[in-house]
Amino acid sequence: MMKYNWFTNSSARVVLVAAVVLLMQGCGFVKSKFGGKGGKGGEVGVTNGEVTATGRKGWKQPTPYGMVLVPSGSFVMGQADEDVAATQINMNRQVTISSFYMDDAEISNHEYRQYVNALLADSVATLGEEEIMSKYYPDTTVWKNDFTYHNGDPMLEHYYAHPAFDTYPVVGVSWLAAKHFCKWRTNTLDDFRSKDGGYRSFGFRLPSEAEWEWAARGGKQGAKYPWGNPYVANGKGCYLANFKPQRGNFDADGYPYTAPANAYSPNEYGLYNMAGNVAEWCRDAYADNSNAIVWDMNPDNQNADEPRKVVRGGSWKDIAYYLETGTRYYEYEDQKRSYIGFRCVMDNLEGRTASGRAGRVGGSSKSKTKASKSSKASKGRA
C-alpha cells in the first residue's frame, strides 16, 4: 500500500514537472535553439555542413515618435449601450486584435503641413500643382460649406494657415488624402533608415475599424466611452470631451469648434481625443453586414469598390451618441469635412510573435505605454 502511494505520488510529481516545463516553454521562459546566442555559424548560417543560422542581429522595432503601443487583446466589439436604431448594423461580436502603435493624438495642422510642403517641393513635376492643391491640400472652404447660414469666414481664413491653430487637428482632408499622407510618412522614414543602414519600417496606415475601437476603449471591456461609463462629465461637472453638449451649447466643454489635438485627458492607453474633437477616418470600407463578412481575428474590410469609408469617434459638432466607442457611421472617400480628421497606426510585429505576449495589459506593454506617454508629454507635439 505504501509502495503504491509512493509510485502514484512520484508519477504525479513527474507529470507536474513536465507540465511546468511545457508551460514555461509556451510562455517563452525556456529557450530553444533559436533563443540562445546561436552556433558558430552566426550570420553565415552554415557551419561544418550543418545549418546553424539563428536570428539576424541588429533589428529592433522602436516606438515611432508621437505614438504609443496598443497591446494585443480580445474584446466584444459593438455598442456597449442600448442602440435600437442601429442594432441591425452593429451587433456585438468578440474579436481579437494584434498589438500595434497608434498616434497618441490626431494629426495636427502643422504635421500635415510638412506633408503638403514636401509635395509642393518634390512632387509638382509628377503630380502637378493642381492635383496637389485639389486632392491633398486641406479644403478650408468646409468651414462655410458644411453649415447653412454660418459665419465660418474666420475659420476658413485662419484655421489651417495661422500658428494659433498649429496643434489643432487638421480637417478638410479626404480619406484618399489621409491614406496618401500615410504613404508619404512611410517613405520619409524609410528613406532615412536606408541611408542609415537600418531595416525598413512596417509602414504607417489608417487603423482598421476594429483596431480603432479596441484602442478607444483603452482596455475597458464594455466601456461606453473611452473614459468608462456612463457620463460625459466628471464629478465636478467638467465635460470629458469636445462635442455638442446639452441642446447646442458648443462652448460648454471649453471649445466652440475644435480643441488642440492633445486636449482633455488621455485614455488608459495614452490616447487623446478618441471621443469628440474630430471624427476619424478608418481603413475599412463601410458595410451594414460587416460583422458577417469579416473574420474575428484582426477584422479588416478593405474593398476598393466601396466608396463609403468608416468614420469613428464623433466630433465637436456631434451629440454624445456619436462619441460612444461602438457607434459607427461613414462618409464617402473623396469628401472633405470640417469635422473629420485622422491618425495613423503602425503594425507591431513583435506583438504577432510569442515574444509579444509580454505586451498584454498588465504586462510590460502597460509600462511601455506610460513611458511613451511621459516621453511624449515632455516633448510636446508640433
Residue type at 340?
A: I
Nearest to 211 by CA among 266, 283, 265: 283
Q: Residues of the chain whose pLDDT is less than 70?
A: 1-43, 82-90, 353-382
Classified as helix, coil or strand, 18 is: helix
**pLDDT given for residue 39 in this prediction:** 44
Q: How far apart are the first and last CA of the chain?
A: 78
Cell match 468578440: residue?
A: 94
Distance CA 283, CA 251 (A): 32
**pLDDT given for residue 127 in this prediction:** 92
Q: Which helix (H) or strand (E) holds 371?
A: helix 364-379
pLDDT (tens digit, 9 = 90+) per residue, 22-76? 555 555 544 445 444 444 444 578 888 888 888 777 777 889 999 999 999 999 9
**pLDDT given for residue 27 in this prediction:** 52
**pLDDT given for residue 366 in this prediction:** 43
Write the burial class of residue 360 (CB in 10 Å: 0-12 exposed, 13-18 middle, 19+ buried).
middle
DSSP letter (8 states) at residue 71: P
Q: Strand locations in 37-97, DSSP E?
A: 46-47, 50-51, 67-70, 73-77, 93-97
- Domain residue ranges in the chain: 67-352
| Cβ(255)–Cβ(316) below 8 Å | yes
Give the fold, CATH level 3, of 67-352: paralog of FGE (formylglycine-generating enzyme) (3.90.1580)
**What are the residues facing 289 on neighbouring strands?**
none
Neighbours of 109 (CB within 10 A): 23
Instruction: Tell me phi and psi for residue 207, to 5 degrees.
Output: -75, 150
Classified as helix, coil or strand, 97 is: strand
**pLDDT given for residue 61 in this prediction:** 85
**pLDDT given for residue 356 in this prediction:** 41
**pLDDT given for residue 232 in this prediction:** 95
Cell match 513536465: residue?
A: 18
Cell match 489651417: residue?
A: 160
